[in-house]
A and B are shown apart, each in its own frame.
Chain A
Amino acid sequence: MSFDNAYEALTEDNDTRWAFGTGFVDPLAGIDTSVPSGVDAAELARSCLWLGDDALIMSHRLQEWCAAAPELEDEVALANIGLDLLGQARLLLARAAKADPSLVPAVEQSDEDALAFFRDAADFHNVRLVELGGGDFAFLMARLLVFSTWRLAVFQRLVDSPDQVVTAIAAKGIKELAYHRDYAARWVVRLGDGTDLSHERMQAGLNAVWPYVDELFDSDTSDGAALRAEFDAVMSQVITAGTLSRPPAREAAETRSLEPLLAEMQSVARAHPDATW
């Protein structure tokens, strides 16, 4: 390594790993995005948009934990999960836009950014579970466990989608979501079976997210019951291991959290609608 010039020193060994950015401009670059015959393009776009919105909003809630995690290892893990979900959101929003361009707001931005930054709350289709604001680390882990358990089960079915783009997104996402679920489950067990205080908070966290579980399975697909059974089996296992109890059924309240979340997320993009970033 040369030490006379900082930049030469970093590039002279020609380590190509450092030549690539973490950013890619078009998430679906080079991929055949034509909709296969026999697939309803509007329906495909709708489901991609919904799944993309879930990932985008959940990622935002994880981003809010930046510099606030209980330990550095968790700082790294939460950012990692936030990045995975952001990546899923980008691919799914881009897929939705290609399948049904009429969904995309008419602004001079890429499809994914037009969808993320130039739609109003009424046009978002995320589940309420991800938009809930505030909460402590136990609440975050309860929400992440519920979310990733459900989403993993959904993605495991999407690998059989007739659309190859969705199949590829799902195959990539499964590995990520399995890790997210594992991370959350370990914390739920640790907090549940840790101290009296952590047990109490973990139970409170589970109780707080539980009313938003039913909505995840509100689909018209015939597979809904099987999906729910799979979800319940995982949750029971974790709840038991964490010496916790299954929360009582409760009515889900409106969250009123999406508008302020979007106001923050979209603030810079909307202040400069003609800008390129």
Chain B
Amino acid sequence: MNAKRIDKLATAVISLLVGVVVLILLSLIGYILVTGLPHISWHFLTSPSQAFLKGGGIGDQLFNSFYLLVLTLVISFPIALGAGIYLFEYAPKNWVTNTIRVAIEVLSSLPSVVVGLFGFLLFVVEFKLGFSILSGAIALTFFNLPLLTRSIENSLTAVPKLQREAGLALGFSRWQTVLGVIFPEALPGILTAVILSAGRIFGEAAALIYTAGQSAPILNFANWNPFSPTSPLNPMRPAETLAVHIWKINSEGIMPDASAVSAGASAVLIVVVLLFNFSARWLGNRIYRKITASK
């Protein structure tokens, strides 16, 4: 066999493998969308779920998922940004820094159910936060921090070194250089990282079962007092999210239309995660183009 034929063969094999990956992905998403989309209606998206009757919706769960997402990002983004900037600019190159990096890597490979059980023992039981959105948000912060920190650091490192030198040579302090020069340039990458992590948070179930709980108390959407137990904004109430709801219906759902609700909820979940992913790309490209002035 000559080099040319081997090259052709290799190309064919690689194309085939890629084809398999794409096929699996498409059939999975296709199946979920085809079985789920017919069940989605305005009523389904806005009404509360039913435990025993048919015709329940996912309104509260959908709201819970978004609320939990916002809370998690509010807690984890500042921490991840600080840690990312520290690792990028201030961390000395020694064993302490290396230990931090290894710790982050280990943390990022923790199974989410372990994070959930840890959160259960520490926040729910020990800190007496109970099954609450707050417990869930803190557990998801643990789950989200390593990857977010890593991708923020990567976005900062991706800014050309020359920019950092330019800032420092102009007599900017390190902090001014990071904040004024490097951060704006890394912003598209950072935003993409945040949105992609939002997709991961939105679809997470295992870490929430033991922290945010599996019950969805009746919410009164006219009550915006965050201390009232029926208020949707109360961070101390238990909150079943969409992903947890899907898990629960499939393991112990007794409503007559359980499979239809599960299919519809799964489709909604997939659509939202896809939206996160596409908007991350769109926004990242847009800001990148604006910043680099390329047309």
Task: State yes or no: do A and B come from one complex.
Answer: no
